Amino acid sequence: MRDAGGFRLMGVVNVTPDSFSDGGLFLDPGAAVAHGWRLAQEGAEILDVGGESTRPGADPVGAEEELRRVLPVVEGLAAMASGAVISIDTSKASVARAALGAGATLVNDVTALRGDPEMPGVVAQSGAECCLMHMLGEPRTMQRGVGEVGGVGGVGRVGGPQYKDVVDDVKAFLEQRLAFAVAEGIAEERVLLDPGIGFGKTLEHNLQLLRRLSELAVLGRPLVVGTSRKSFIGRILAAAGTVSEPVDVAGRLPGTIATCVLAYERGARVLRVHDVAPVRAALEVAAATLGAR
């Protein structure tokens, strides 16, 4: 039963050779479409198609190559009419525009509309939903703490990401970007907000955000949380003596489930995951225990 507990699952469809968890597995458009279909059948209400890795240290991809990767997948998923919303994970206006024309209805922009000056207009004119995420710098530099594009949401210093108070800083950033989006003509009810777990944050920053997620929920927009398979989960498990480093992505599933359930309890309403079926099962039990919201 979809949305019975007040949550939606965003299934990850990476069409990249270098994503940290499944890079290269779905480069073939047919394989990516089949994977997206499987995620939808497992209960993903949103399918997030991305053609450029945003893992720490990732190299940028040109718009032409990104379009070559994602457009056939968006078209294929739209043609299959799975019932899921198709999201395009991009910070480039040209890619978003083409994907929206091919059937996507949500733009997931990790730069929160800062990466391309044309992006706000593309989203506003299309009437699409958009997700605005907090990130220090860019993927190549975000874990080095070398600075923040736009100057809000954390002050980076050499040696790692630094914040005065990570929750307060991320909240201020998201509030500012929401106001910017609305001023650019994007309807407030079409905006989702993502604190950017793992994007320019240390392990402790990630945990603080998860502990205090309810402080971000007061912004009044659906919160998107993406902890799925991320390295901080592996570091927690290794520190606890549960497993030894390095913890592969399969070994991070229990921690992914735990963080998704805790995030839901604290106000997250969209969980971005690779493993839809087990996370949905856990969230359905959590929702029944907590009382459907």
Q: What is the pLDDT along the chain (293 residues), one digit of tens a residue?
A: 345 579 999 999 999 875 545 445 666 889 999 999 999 999 999 999 999 988 776 778 899 999 999 999 999 999 998 899 999 999 999 999 999 999 999 999 999 999 999 999 999 999 999 999 999 877 656 555 544 333 334 444 445 789 999 999 999 999 999 999 999 999 999 999 999 999 999 999 999 999 999 999 999 999 999 999 999 999 999 998 878 887 888 899 999 999 999 999 999 999 999 999 999 999 999 999 998 55
Is 166:199 a contact under the CB 8 Å cutoff? Answer: no
Q: Which of 129, 177, 130 is nearest to 153 (CA)?
A: 177
In a domain, 149, yes or no: no
Provide the annotated active-site residues.
230, 272
Note down the domain range covering 226. 8-136+167-290
Say what the pLDDT of residue 156 is: 40
Angstrom distance (rounded) from CA 45 to CA 39: 9
Say what the pLDDT of residue 4 is: 55
In a domain, 222, yes or no: yes
In a domain, 202, yes or no: yes
Is 180:153 a contact under the CB 8 Å cutoff? Answer: no
Say what the pLDDT of residue 106 is: 98
Q: State pTM to two decimals.
A: 0.89
Say what the pLDDT of residue 13 is: 96
In a domain, 263, yes or no: yes
In a domain, 195, yes or no: yes
In a domain, 245, yes or no: yes
In a domain, 157, yes or no: no
Helix segments in 86-185, DSSP class H? 93-102, 119-126, 166-183
Token digits of residue 200: 């320019």
Question: In degrees rounded to 5, what are phi and psi of residue 35?
Answer: -65, -45
First-to-last CA distance in the chain?
A: 14
Q: Cis before residue 161, ω within 30 degrees of 0?
A: no
Say what the pLDDT of residue 27 is: 66
Question: In degrees rounded to 5, what are phi and psi of residue 115?
Answer: -80, -25
In a domain, 153, yes or no: no
| CATH classification at residue 101 | 3.20.20.20
Count: domains in the chain: 1
* CB neighbourhood size of 12 (10 A): 27
Q: Which helix (H) or strand (E) holds 87?
A: strand 85-89
Say what the pLDDT of residue 42 is: 97
